[in-house]
Structure formats: structure tokens, C-alpha cells
């Protein structure tokens, strides 16, 4: 980690933070989020650039800024009021172009909470700049992006943390570890549910708001007339130019739990078929009302809209893991109530009590393997989402080889959809 010439700059930033407090803070920032009294000495903190500070990005800023060993030194957003407001809170510099933040010597890591279409391009740029990255889900707009992102971080040797925070929830960890330990026997089937998408959305063109860099916001996405619904939720999740919808945008959470709890997706060919609705009118055009039947080797996975959960069905019972601790249940309540072994051996999953803190600790140690939600596993769950999207859009039964990472069965159209064009000058 580069530390030269950083002490003086960090001290200046700390004084700037205090000055920002005197100027008055946005009402949504709690005093506890500042954490100034418990901050470590400036030269010992991890320098972080926040890239994307809208709704989810604001939440992440609060979390990272409150950590005693973090100094937010750069804030990037295409909306001027967002970036300048948060930069004022923490004494950071504000940028509209993420590349300027990546060029800063005192940025050790980035937190990417942009709209979906920017996740992988910014993450790859960060890896090439030698930065560590915490990236919100979903991952790429296509499988090619997922694989390119993994290659970039492997080459750089930097830390990647996926924003699947259930891995840092104790009940999620315990449920998955029990499945790994075989307490319900061999897994026969898995059920995964997540919230649904929808059609609709106004396509009426509107003036671009003052202080909003729409050209930069679009970036690698196709140029389309500005409409407020495109640049705000749910449009940022439900427009195919920018996302693949909740198949990945929300499905990433329960599918990631499935990956954490078992390796069925690696056990043999992945066979995907199903149905769904692709809207043809309105602004929103990602798949919704899907019903996917997937064979992971010999394990059947049913993936459909519903209340988020991952249910592992084994020879001797079942375990259901959900974000809501009250919906993390089992066929026999005693399964979840058993004592934790002092030495679970090879079946012990990594313990993380803070998703943000786990990432920062991995960055401090320069150890990609210390991240509880690593990129290699993010790629595995994201590929399943993309295969579902392709199966619905082509109407085909697709077969994927998880070891060679290629389509064994699929038309030329399906093969072509493993790639997404990017608007020049942006590339992977």
C-alpha cells in the first residue's frame, strides 16, 4: 500500500472535515457517522473514494465513514449536489469523473455504488490502478464482463468485496455452515426467491437537470433521451441498457447464499430453461414474472419471484436462509439451535461481523482471500442470473459448462449475448 507523502494530506483533510461541520451538514447525516473522536491517526487510515453517492451510496458512505481506520478522501458522482454535499461532510475532494479519483495517491480503495452498467467498468479501472474495490451488486451486464473483472483483479492482486451483506449476518453464516456440514444430508433441491420487476415507466423526454452530467452518467450505455425515470430507481434497475433487472439486481443476494451454502453449481453442467415477461412498451424492459427451472448437476434449482429466501432441501430435512432472521428456519427447529462446534474443520465458513469492516481489514492486510464475499464467488452467482436472462430472451434451453465457462448448448444469438457492446470510448 502506498503511504508516502500522505500524512500531511490526511491532516489537511481532517481539518477540512472539522471546517465542514462548522458550515452545517445535510440533515440526513447523523452525528455518529462522523466518528471523528475515535478516528485513528491520519497516516494509519485507509484512504477511500466513494464512487456513486445516491441512495445506496449514501448508506455505504455512512458505514465506511464511521469506521475509525477509514478516511474518505474523494467523492465521485454525476450529480453536483450529491458529490459536493458529501465531500463537504468529510473534507474530501469532489469529482464527476472517477478516473480523477483513481489517479490520487492517497486513495487505497474505492466503493462503487453507481447504477449497474458502471459496476464492472469502474471496478476494472480500479484494479488496473492498483486499488482495492468494494462493489455493489449486481456484477456485470453480461458474462463477458464478469470474467473480465475477475481476470483484472487476479492480475492486480487487489481485494474485491461484493455487496452481498448477508455473508456478514450471523444467521446467514450459521445456516450456510450447517448446510456445508451436511446436517440435512446430500442436497437434492434448492428454491430461490427474490422480489419481482415490472413493466411501465414514462418515456417522455425532459430537460437534463442543472448540475447533472448525463453524458458521464450514461458512459458505456447507449445514448438515449433523458427522462427522469431512466436515472432513478426503479429505472436504474429495470432498463436493459443499464441492467438485467432483479434477476441479478436482487437475485444476487439469495443466489449468493446458495453459492455460500453449497457448490452445486460446480458439480456438473448447468441446464437452464424457463419463462418470463419481457416488456415491449414503456421505459422498463428487463425480465419479470420469471419461472426458472435449473439443473445444477443433479440438484434442481427453482428460481422465481417472491419474498427473498434460499431454501436448501436435503435427504434429512431442509434449511431456509433469509435476510430476515425470523424467516431463517429449518424443518426441525433443533437444527438451527444446536451448539456451534469449537472446531468445525473444513466446513467452517469465514466469520464477518461487519461487511464494511471485513473489507477494510482485508485491504489493510493486502489479502484478497480475507474478503468474506470474494469476486470468484460473485461471478458464479452472477452467471446464473445471466443464463436465466438469456434463456427467457431467446426462449431456449441453455447448457453451461462451469469448468470451461462456455455454452455447450445455445444458438448463435445466445452466444452473442454473452457480450454487450460498450459505447466508445469506453472499453473493458
- For 204-253, the DSSP string reads ---PPPTTB-HHHHHTTSPP----GGGSSTTHHHH-TTT--THHHHTTHH
Q: What are phi and psi of 310, to 5 degrees?
A: -130, 120
Q: Judge if the upstream peptide bond of residue 33 is cis by omega within 30 degrees of 0.
A: no
pLDDT at 340: 79
310 within 8 A of 322, measured Cβ to Cβ: yes
- For helices 355-365 and 55-65, give the axis angle rounded to 10 degrees: 60
Q: Quick one: CA torsion of 330, 336, 341, 347, rounded to 10 degrees?
A: 30
DSSP 59-125: HHHHHHHTSTTEEEEEEE-SBHHHHHHHHHHHT-EEESSHHHHHT-TT--EEEE-S-GGGHHHHHHH
In terms of Cα–Cα distance, which of 178, 180, 162, 159 is closest to 170? 178
Residue 320: all three cell numbers together: 431456509
pLDDT at 58: 97
Q: Quick one: CA torsion of 179, 182, 185, 190, rounded to 10 degrees?
A: 20
How many CB atoms are closer than 10 A to CB 78?
A: 24
Burial (CB count <10 Å: 0-12, 13-18, 19+), residue 250: buried
Q: Which residues of 297-426 form beta strands (DSSP E)?
A: 299-305, 309-314, 317-321, 329-330, 398-401, 406-409
Instruction: Give the ranges where 26-69 is alpha helix by DSSP (H).
Output: 55-65
Place of cell 444469438: 413
**Splitting the chain (428 residues) into consecutive groups of 10 residues, what average pLDDT does each group show?**
39 38 38 49 87 97 97 98 97 98 98 98 98 98 98 98 97 96 96 98 98 98 97 97 98 98 96 98 98 98 98 98 97 91 77 97 98 98 98 98 97 98 96
* Residues found in the chain: 428
Question: Which strands sit side by side in the sheet containing 160-162, from one edge to the other?
Answer: 93-95, 70-76, 46-51, 109-112, 132-135, 160-162
Residue 74: all three cell numbers together: 474523494
In terms of Cα–Cα distance, which of 56, 59, 214 is closest to 138? 56
pLDDT at 360: 98
Residue 145: all three cell numbers together: 464482463
Q: What are phi and psi of 21, to 5 degrees?
A: -60, -40
Tell me the pLDDT tens digit for each residue of 205-254. Answer: 999 999 999 999 999 999 999 999 999 999 999 999 999 999 999 999 99
Global confidence as pTM: 0.90
Residue 209: all three cell numbers together: 437537470
Place of cell 414474472: 289
Instruction: Give the ranges where 3-73 is alpha helix by DSSP (H).
Output: 7-23, 55-65
Integer Cα distance of 262 and 312 in angstroms = 9
72 within 8 A of 48, measured Cβ to Cβ: yes
pLDDT at 42: 64
Burial (CB count <10 Å: 0-12, 13-18, 19+), residue 8: exposed
109 within 8 A of 363, measured Cβ to Cβ: yes
Q: Which are the contacts of 324, defined by CB distance < 8 A and separation ≥ 6?
A: none
Amino acid at each position: 500500500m502506498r503511504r508516502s507523502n500522505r500524512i500531511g494530506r490526511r491532516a489537511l483533510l481532517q481539518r477540512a472535515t472539522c471546517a465542514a461541520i462548522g458550515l452545517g451538514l445535510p440533515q440526513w447525516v447523523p452525528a455518529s457517522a462522523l466518528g471523528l473522536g475515535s478516528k485513528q491517526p491520519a497516516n494509519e487510515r485507509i484512504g477511500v473514494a466513494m464512487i456513486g453517492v445516491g441512495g445506496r451510496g449514501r448508506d455505504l458512505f455512512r458505514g465506511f465513514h464511521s469506521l475509525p481506520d477509514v478516511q474518505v478522501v474523494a467523492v465521485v458522482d454525476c450529480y453536483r449536489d450529491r458529490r459536493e454535499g458529501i465531500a463537504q461532510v468529510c473534507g474530501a475532494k469532489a469529482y464527476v469523473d472517477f478516473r480523477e479519483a483513481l489517479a490520487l495517491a492517497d486513495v487505497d480503495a474505492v466503493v462503487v455504488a453507481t447504477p449497474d452498467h458502471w459496476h464492472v467498468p469502474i471496478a476494472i479501472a480500479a484494479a488496473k490502478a492498483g486499488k482495492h474495490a468494494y462493489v455493489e451488486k449486481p456484477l456485470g451486464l453480461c458474462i463477458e464482463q464478469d470474467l473480465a473483472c475477475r481476470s483484472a483483479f487476479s492480475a492486480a492482486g487487489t481485494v474485491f468485496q461484493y455487496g452481498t451483506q448477508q455473508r456478514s449476518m450471523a444467521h446467514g453464516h450459521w445456516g450456510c455452515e450447517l448446510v456445508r456440514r451436511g446436517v440435512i444430508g446430500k442436497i437434492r433441491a434448492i428454491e430461490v426467491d427474490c422480489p419481482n420487476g415490472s413493466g411501465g415507466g414514462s418515456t417522455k423526454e425532459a430537460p437534463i437537470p442543472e448540475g447533472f452530467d448525463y453524458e458521464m452518467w450514461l458512459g458505456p450505455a447507449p445514448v438515449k433521451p433523458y427522462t427522469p425515470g431512466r436515472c432513478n430507481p426503479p429505472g436504474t434497475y429495470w432498463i436493459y441498457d443499464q441492467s438485467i433487472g432483479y434477476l441479478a439486481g436482487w437475485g444476487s443476494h439469495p443466489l449468493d447464499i446458495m453459492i455460500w451454502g453449497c457448490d452445486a453449481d460446480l458439480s456438473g453442467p448447468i441446464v437452464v430453461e424457463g419463462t418470463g415477461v419481457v416488456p415491449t412498451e414503456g421505459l422498463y424492459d428487463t425480465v419479470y414474472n420469471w419461472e426458472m427451472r435449473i439443473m445444477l448437476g443433479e440438484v434442481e434449482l427453482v428460481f422465481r419471484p417472491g419474498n427473498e429466501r434460499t431454501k436448501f432441501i436435503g435427504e434429512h430435512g431442509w434449511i431456509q436462509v433469509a435476510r430476515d432472521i425470523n424467516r431463517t428456519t429449518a424443518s426441525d427447529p433443533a437444527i438451527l439451535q444446536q451448539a456451534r462446534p469449537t472446531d468445525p474443520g473444513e466446513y467452517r465458513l469465514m466469520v464477518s461481523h461487519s461487511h464494511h469492516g471485513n473489507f477494510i481489514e482485508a485491504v489493510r492486510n493486502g489479502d484478497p482471500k480475507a474478503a468474506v464475499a470474494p469476486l470468484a464467488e460473485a461471478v458464479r452467482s452472477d452467471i446464473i442470473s445471466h443464463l436465466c436472462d438469456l434463456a427467457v430472451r431467446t426462449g431456449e434451453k441453455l447448457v453451461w459448462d462451469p469448468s470451461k465457462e462456455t455454452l455447450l448448448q445455445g444458438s448463435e444469438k445466445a452466444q452473442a449475448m454473452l457480450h454487450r457492446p460498450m459505447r466508445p470510448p469506453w472499453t473493458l
